[in-house]
Amino acid sequence: MAQWGRNDQAVTANSSTTKETSNGAPIGTWSLVKGDQVGRVDGANAHFGNTSPGSRAGVDVNMFGNTTMGAFIPNQAVGVFGVDATEMGVVGGPLAETYITFGGSGYKANVAVTVTFANGAANTSAVNSSVSTTNATRGRVTGLVINSAGAGILTNPTITIAAPPLLIFNGNTNVTSNSSVGAFIAYTSANSYLQVNDKVTYAGNATSTPVTLVNNRAYYVSFANSSGFKVSDAPGTANINFTAASGDGTTAGGATFQGETATGYVVVGGAKNRGVTHAGWVVRREGTGGRAGRVTYETLVAMGSLGAQTAPYGTPALVADANDDAQLPEA
């Protein structure tokens, strides 16, 4: 029985097979992720030749073309890819994947994302942000969407997500002091942008700063509803009380709080520029944290005939190329 083949496709196994076979990706790649450390189901299923939960065959199937972070190993994206001779000859690639490392706080709507390339060129339309105003992710940047992937990019560019908007309020008329339950800042739909324990930085001016609030100091949201919010000195602590400003509260734009800026990164595709050393079957690994954006490839089976359609290699491959041009472009 063949352990791999020339078709750029997954191993052959489904819910009813009794034996895993392949005319494509190598059999046994489950061992590269120790049998799936995330969705692991111990027991007899591991040895089944079908895609039952916990089966090695199922892991082999799902590893083909995988770029999902944490699918098999926490904080890693591990996948098996076929690299044909054409893909191997390509240096550079498009923007392939985006990740949010910190969602920020206090966002009301989608904001601009600046992509800066190695040559210093900047682009503000290649990537868009997605902001949530509902449920547990309200006020957060929850995703980055590639709008224009480009091509021939050799190294990962950097991205800068715009800061959340200023939450401007009248330091006089929008503040209600209460020594028992803390001061309340009137702000419409505050709970659509703010969550309890969000870090917000205060900024005011001579006529708009409520008494005891300190300019450029960080506070934490301790309460928020549709009418306004309260703050505390530290996460999980009591609401603080302060007195409304004595001035008109609007001079120089009023008082403001501002949430934290979101962060993220983008990964480019390509073969040679990403370290692929030979056409054939490879395992692709991508990290997070200190290894965020770092992609490595390891050759599992070196073969120049993967996906070949020509006679010198015998029976033409039925599947010449998988849908992986973001990671391994053809040109």
pLDDT at 196: 96
**Residue 308 pLDDT exceeds 80:** no
pLDDT at 56: 87
In DSSP notation, 116-175 reads E-TTS-EESSSEEEEEE-SGGGTTEEEEEEES---S-B-SPPEEEEPPPPPEEE-TTTTE
Sign of CA dihedral 119, 125, 127, 130: positive
**Residue 248 pLDDT exceeds 60:** no
pLDDT in tens, 59-111: 999 999 999 999 999 999 999 999 999 999 999 999 999 999 999 999 999 99
**C-alpha closest to that of 19 among 42, 37, 2:** 2
Q: Sort residue 119 into left (φ over 0), alpha (ψ -120 to 50) or beta.
A: alpha
Q: Please give the Cα distance from 3 to 10 (Å, whole number).
A: 12
Planar angle of CA 61, 23, 321, nearest 5 degrees? 80
**Residue 206 pLDDT exceeds 70:** no
Share of the chain above pLDDT 70, in %: 90
**Residue 312 pLDDT exceeds 60:** no
Band (34; pLDDT cuts 50, 70, 90): confident
**Sequence-separated (6 or more) residues with CB below 8 Å from residue 108:** 131, 133, 139, 164, 165, 192, 193
